[in-house]
Each structure stands twice: as C-alpha cells, then as structure tokens.
C-alpha cells in the first residue's frame, strides 16, 4: 500500500516502489544506462495506467509490465487468470491444468499416476508420428547414434566411478564439472542434452523451429510465436500422430486440443495400469 507521503503518480512499476516526488522518481531512473531516456511522467496513477495499456505489454488486472508480448500472453494463460480446464489424459490421474503444455510437462516430469516420464513420452510420440509431422527424422537418427555412443543413464548405473576425476563429477556429454553426484544426476535427468527431435510442423504453416521436449513444442504452438494457429495445429498434429481423421469434439465446450490429446493417448497409446 502506497503511504500518504508518497506522490500518487510517483511509482516505479518495475520495482514496485513509490517515491515522495517526481524528482525522486527521476533520480531513481537516472542511474540505469539501460532505461529509455524518453520516459514519461504522470501526475495521476490513472494516466500512468492508460500509458502502460497503450504503449507497453501491460496486464491491467495485475498492474504489471512485461518485457514482451509473449511473456504477457504466458502470464494471461497462467493460473492467475485462467482456470485449470485441461484434464490429464490418463484415466488414472484426476489433475487439471491451465494449458496443454502444462499437462504434457506433468507427464514428462513423472508426476502423473500413470508413471510416465519424459523418455517414455518421447518414445510414444516417435512410435505414433509415422508421418514425421512433429518429429524430425534426421534428428531421430542423430539421437539413435548418440545413444549408441553415450548413454548418461547407463553410465550412471554401470560406471559411476568413471565420472569422478578425483575432485568433481564430469558430465559424459558436456564435460561440465559438478561437486556432487546428485547435481550431475539432476542434469542428466533434465532435457538439457536432449536431441531436438521435435519441430514446429511446416506442413501446418509452422516455422520449423526445433525443440528437445514435447512440452516445449506445445508451448511454442500455444504462444503462436510463428503465426501458427494453436488450436487447429494441435488438433491436426495429434490426429495425424494417432492415424485418425480430424473430427469435432464430442463435448462442444471442450477445447479442441484437449479432445485431440485425450483421443490420442487413451485410444492410440493406452496408459498401463
């Protein structure tokens, strides 16, 4: 809460701090070489908010400014502003999420009752995407070759002593050093070194950008960063992966991506019990 001795319009939205006068606010802005010299100052908070709405990536409900339109869109899709209406595709799990990408991340992270993890999600996608709509066949070959040469999980299970140089644990892929084995395991379990087998589908006006995880691709499509239409693209992609024709959702209130993913995971590649 801004106290009475503060000027109502003398507020730095970035730092969320209020100042006693316009002069103090200008002094606050002055030291930063990165700030735009053409800053505007307002006597009323309402005028400042109008300026943010017109000139910046601004969320009026939260009174926050974001660095880019994509960051603002991601914020608007978060649980702060959006209900969790995307249900987990596993019948064993009753959790709901604010987006398809969040639901997929839940699967990849191994938090679902179905017991999947990122590697198992990848394998199921590879098996289902026979037309290579969202997977890149060249990257898949590279991935197979890399796994034949270096398999971090296998190295941990079979030859952990070879990763220790006397003072640090070395990553078998990037050779970065870690003081603890737990830190190295976290790196190897993450998608940090994952081959970018996924791509934004060119056949659906996608940009061809590559991603190491399915959740990252889904987030890219949801953000519409390359002009691709998120809902139609997700429906078409998943239907093709499942070898099915596109159809309307049985529930008209259900979003197309949720329906398509549910159809794909439950009928084409059922979860194990």
Helix or strand or coil: residue 199?
A: strand
Domain-wise residue ranges, the chain: 11-76, 86-136+196-268, 145-193
Backbone phi and psi for residue 29, each to the nearest 5 degrees, phi listed first: -75, -30
- CA neighbours closer than 13 Å in the CB half-sphere of residue 79: 6
pLDDT band, very low/low/confident/very high, at 136 (cuts 50, 70, 90): very high
List 211's β-bridge partners, or say none: 198
Query: Residue 76 in 3-state DSSP?
Result: helix
Q: Which residue has the tokens 């914020």?
A: 75
Q: How many beta carbons lie within 10 A of that of residue 130, not counting itself?
A: 11
Residue 211's pLDDT band (cuts 50, 70, 90) = very high
Residue with tokens 């926050």: 64
C-alpha–C-alpha distance, residues 39 and 241, integer Å? 50
Q: Express each pLDDT in 42-51 by its tens digit.
A: 555 666 656 6
CA–CA separation, 145 vs 133, rounded Å?
A: 21
Of residues 137 and 233, more confidently modeled: 137
**pLDDT tens figures, 90-105:** 778 888 888 878 888 8
pTM: 0.60
| Residues 113-128 pLDDT 10s | 888 888 888 888 888 7
CA angle at 124 for the pair 155 and 175, rounded to the nearest 5°? 25
The Cα–Cα gap between 236 and 32 comes to 48
């Amino acid at each position: 809460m801004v106290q009475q001795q503060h000027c109502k319009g003398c507020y730095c939205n970035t730092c969320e701090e209020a100042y006693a006068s316009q002069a103090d606010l200008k002094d606050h802005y002055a030291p930063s070489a990165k700030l735009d010299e053409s800053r505007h100052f307002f006597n009323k908070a309402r005028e400042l908010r109008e300026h943010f709405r017109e000139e910046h990536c601004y969320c009026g409900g939260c009174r926050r400014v974001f660095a880019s339109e994509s960051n603002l869109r991601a914020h608007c899709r978060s649980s702060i502003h959006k209900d969790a209406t995307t249900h987990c595709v596993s019948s064993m799990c009753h959790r709901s999420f604010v987006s398809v990408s969040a639901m997929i991340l839940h699967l990849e992270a191994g938090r679902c009752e179905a017991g999947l993890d990122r590697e198992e999600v990848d394998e199921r996608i590879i098996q289902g995407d026979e037309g290579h709509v969202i997977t890149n066949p060249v990257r898949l070959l590279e991935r197979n070759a890399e796994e034949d040469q270096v398999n971090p999980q296998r190295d941990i299970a079979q030859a952990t002593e070879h990763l220790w140089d006397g003072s640090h644990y070395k990553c078998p892929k990037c050779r970065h050093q870690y003081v603890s084995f737990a830190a190295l395991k976290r790196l190897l379990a993450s998608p940090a070194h994952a081959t970018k087998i996924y791509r934004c589908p060119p056949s659906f006006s996608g940009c061809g950008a590559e991603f190491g995880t399915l959740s990252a691709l889904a987030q890219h499509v949801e953000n519409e960063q390359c002009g691709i239409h998120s809902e139609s693209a997700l429906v078409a992609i998943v239907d093709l992966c499942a070898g099915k024709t596109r159809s309307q959702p049985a529930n008209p209130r259900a979003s197309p991506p949720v329906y398509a993913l549910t159809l794909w995971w439950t009928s084409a590649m059922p979860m194990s019990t």
